[in-house]
Amino acid sequence: MMRIGMGYDVHRLGKERKLILGGVTIPYEYGLIGHSDADVVVHAIMDALLGAAALGDIGKHFPDNDEQYKDISSIILLEHVGKLLKDNNYTIGNIDATIIAQKPKLAPYREQMVKNVAKALNINENQVCIKATTEEGLGFTGEGLGISSQAIALLN
């Protein structure tokens, strides 16, 4: 049986944080504020995968009041989600994610993001698509106050 899950995440931008998206540290004057590394695209992917498997969400598995997850790499958390899926006899069909950010330009980093996600989940790179778009200056992402991401995943 095929199952589909959708994920969404958003974090505010702030000074003195690294900007990490898809496990890639991107040179930028601002970074995402959060308990972990605040990698919105990986968080959206994890929620899509967990939702498709009806295993809850990232807040259930990695609560933001648990010190063991403070500043942790979201790629490590994604590896854990992959293990949960395997333990529950799910295989990943594909993942499609979009990052919504006015700045910086993300095209130069997308290939490495795909590689990082595929490696963490032990799947082929052609099963992962990560795209980026702006919001033409509209809303909190368009104003440069934050970055959001949406993802959808198919499980078998």
Q: Is 9 annotated as a binding residue?
A: yes
Helix spans in 53-133 (H): 58-61, 74-87, 110-121
| Distance, CA of 56 to CA of 73 (rounded, Å) | 20
Contact 82, 51 (CB under 8 A): no
Q: Is 122 annotated as a binding residue?
A: no
Q: Is 128 annotated as a binding residue?
A: no
Average pLDDT over residues 106-133: 98
Q: Any idea what the Cα angle at residue 37 is, between residues 76 and 61, rounded to 5°?
A: 55
Give the model's pLDDT for residue 8: 98
Average pLDDT over residues 38-66: 95
Q: Is 126 annotated as a binding residue?
A: no
Q: Is 10 annotated as a binding residue?
A: yes
119: CB partners within 8 A, 6+ apart: none
**pTM to 2 decimal places:** 0.97
Q: Is 80 annotated as a binding residue?
A: no
Q: Is 81 annotated as a binding residue?
A: no
Residue 143 binned pLDDT confidence (cut-offs 50, 70, 90): very high
Our CA dihedral for 146, 64, 107, 92, rounded to 10 degrees, sits at -140
- pLDDT 10s digits, 55-95: 999 999 998 888 888 889 999 999 999 999 999 999 999 99
